[in-house]
Amino acid sequence: MPRLVAVSNRVAPIQEGEPTAGGLAAGVLDALKQQGGIWVGWSGEITAESTANPARTVGPIALYTINLSRKDYDEFYRGFANATLWPTLHYQIGLAQFDWNDFAGYRRVNDLFALAVSQVVRSDDLIWAHDYHLLCFAEALRAAGVTNRIGLFLHTPFPAPAVFMTIPSHAALIRAMCAFDLLGFQTETDRTAFSDYVVRQAGGKAGHNGTLHVFGRSLRTGVFPIGVHVDEVRVQAEDPVNRRLATRLRTTLRERLILSVDRLDYSKGLRQRFTAFERFLEEYPEHRGKITFMQIAPPSRSDVQPYREIRRELEAEAGRINGRFADVDWVPLRYLNRGFPRNVLMPLYAEAEVGLVTPLRDGMNLVAKEYIAAQDPDDPGVLVLSQFAGAAVELDAALLVNPYDQAGMAAALDRALSMPLEERRERHAAMLHVMRVHSLERWRDRFEAALRTP
Ligand code: GDG
């Protein structure tokens, strides 16, 4: 079996025996553990110069990390990746900023990652890069003479071409992306958007099975929806030690629980969700005093301007809504601006009568899948899910909502809280079934198989 070389912006802090992390980290880690391999990424350190650290070995995995200089961090990470690409890929073009220097920095760091990989790669290794930080990575590796098969899985959405084209360097980005052998997307909508750009704007031709012919070469595109370890989530949710916090919550909380868990990010629709919750309290007063909405929102990217703004805004909104509706013995909204260990989080999912997951756009959204996996199948909670999350394609038995429709979200909350047991069970079973088929293992296996196949 060929070795796997995984490349992602961050390398997860791996300690043997620790519970696996969510999403990207869990998927990459599983793949590497199974067949051994190499993981290359940024260490999270900022140093005077961008430098490579000596390799570290954890079990069958060799970790190669790179430290970034302040300039590289500012231009690559804070700049082009998170102030230009992230908002644009999530359709938030009003929040996007662009600077050619940042784009040059982005390319420079992609070159650094490529250099690190070119020094350790063997001729039959498979190279699997992840996410929007590395769109120019394959082009840089090709320039370094590497001829291995190189794939990219994009964890975020890929937007309609007209939206992508608001990035002044869009043409260079697409050309660079076409240097991969395989481009994986979360949904068919994302894959089609990319293919449309290549065909209509770059003079490419679409062939069979997602193949694209452009810039004198051929590449494959495919849809690989990422999943979760369904059984592992449920085991974590039921573990008595893990359940201590959830049990404490249950004994002190008389109300029914509506739960949201998101990185604090404007794409997750928290502001719109708070407004919809306020609308729900206004229009369905019978629920006042009987429910609690808990929003867990660990801060992220707090050195990027819009992230600081949304944090301030949400604190003010939470205070205002509580000021308006709270009673001497009831607080409607608990806003927790912090993270929790994963094994504490899963039992909290299981405790919640409603999982409220309403991003404005999301590549997939694993919280929605974890919420379903954590439920007791005999008495499951109800998932209220944004139609703009990639997860909505598979989880169409959720109550699907438009996150921009306050009245619709308020009505969905009322419906979720009144749903009879039988309907809850049916919807939950349907979603669990799909999630078992589209598991995290399958995501990894299908991508690797596609990457291996010329
Ligand atoms: C990107 C794409 C795509 C959350 N709070 C805590 C915590 N989490 C965990 C969740 C979940 C993960 O983080 C978040 O995953 P999401 O998928 O919801 O969102 P992104 O971070 O934006 O991920 C997304 C994903 O990549 C995978 O392809 O689905 O669309 O944007 O696992 O449980 N984990 C811990 N403490 C917390 O407080 N330990």
CA–CA gap between residue 19 and residue 11 (Å, rounded): 16
Residue type, 155: H
At residue 26, the pLDDT reads: 75
Mutate to test the pocket of ligand 1, among 367, 370, 388 (most ligand atoms within 8 A of CB): 367
At residue 35, the pLDDT reads: 77
Strand pairing category for 205-206 and 211-214: antiparallel
Mean predicted confidence (pLDDT) in 185-214: 98
Q: What CA–CA distances, in Å, run from 454 to 18, 101, 131, 451? A: 36, 36, 22, 7
Q: What CA–CA distances, in Å, run from 244 to 80, 240, 447? A: 42, 7, 38
**Which residues, in sequence order, are CB contacts of 346 under 8 Å at separation 6+?**
233, 236, 237, 242, 370, 374
From ligand 1's centre to the CA of 297, what distance in Å? 11
From ligand 1's centre to the CA of 217, what distance in Å? 35
This prediction's pTM: 0.96
Mean pLDDT of the chain: 94
Active-site annotation holder among 90, 130, 133, 155: 155
**pLDDT bracket for residue 2 (50, 70, 90):** confident
From ligand 1's centre to the CA of 384, what distance in Å? 17
Q: Tell me the torsion sign for CA atoms 123, 129, 134, 138.
A: positive
Start-to-end C-alpha separation, the chain: 16
* Higher-scoring residue by pLDDT: 22, 104: 104
pLDDT digits over 146-169, tens only? Answer: 999 999 999 999 999 999 999 999
**pLDDT bracket for residue 88 (50, 70, 90):** very high
Place of tokens 């979760």: 228
At residue 250, the pLDDT reads: 86
Stretch (H or E) spanning 293: strand 291-296
Buried b (16+ CB within 10 A) or exposed e, 324-335: ebeeeeeebbbb
Q: Exposed, middle or buried by CB within 10 Å (0-12, 13-18, 19+), for 337?
A: middle
Nearest to residue 314, comparing CAs of 333, 292, 290? 333
At residue 328, the pLDDT reads: 95
From ligand 1's centre to the CA of 146, what distance in Å? 32
Mark whether 155 is an active-site residue.
Answer: yes
Whether the predicted pLDDT of 379 surpasses 70? yes
pLDDT digits over 276-298, tens only? Answer: 999 999 999 999 999 999 999 99
Least confident segment among 6-20, 81-95, 367-381: 6-20
At residue 266, the pLDDT reads: 95
Domain boundaries, the chain: 4-227+440-452, 230-437
From ligand 1's centre to the CA of 323, what distance in Å? 30
Nearest CA to ligand 1 atom 38: 339
At residue 443, the pLDDT reads: 93
At residue 409, the pLDDT reads: 98
Tokens of 291: 């429910």
Whether the predicted pLDDT of 236 surpasses 90? yes
CA–CA gap between residue 41 and residue 123 (Å, rounded): 20
Residue type, 234: R
Mean predicted confidence (pLDDT) in 328-356: 95
Mutate to test the pocket of ligand 1, among 20, 365, 439 (most ligand atoms within 8 A of CB): 365
At residue 32, the pLDDT reads: 85
153 phi/psi in degrees, rounded to 5 = -105, 125
Query: Residues enclosing ligand 1, CB less than 6 A?
Result: 22-24, 155-156, 226, 261, 263, 296, 298, 339-342, 345, 362-367, 370
Nearest CA to ligand 1 atom 26: 155
Nearest CA to ligand 1 atom 15: 366
At residue 207, the pLDDT reads: 97
379 phi/psi in degrees, rounded to 5 = -145, 65
Residue type, 5: V
CA–CA gap between residue 405 and residue 196 (Å, rounded): 29
Least confident segment among 43-57, 108-122, 276-290: 43-57
Query: Same fold for the domain at 4-227+440-452 and the one at 230-437?
Result: yes
pLDDT digits over 125-142, tens only? Answer: 999 999 999 999 999 999
pLDDT digits over 390-437, tens only? Answer: 999 999 999 999 999 999 999 999 999 999 999 999 999 999 999 999
Least confident segment among 7-16, 21-30, 243-252, 337-346: 21-30
Class of domain 4-227+440-452: alpha beta
pLDDT digits over 294-328, tens only? Answer: 999 999 888 888 899 999 999 999 999 999 999 99
At residue 20, the pLDDT reads: 45
What would the CATH number be for the domain defined by 230-437?
3.40.50.2000
pLDDT digits over 7-35, tens only? Answer: 999 887 665 444 445 567 777 887 788 77
At residue 17, the pLDDT reads: 46
At residue 22, the pLDDT reads: 53
Mean predicted confidence (pLDDT) in 172-193: 98
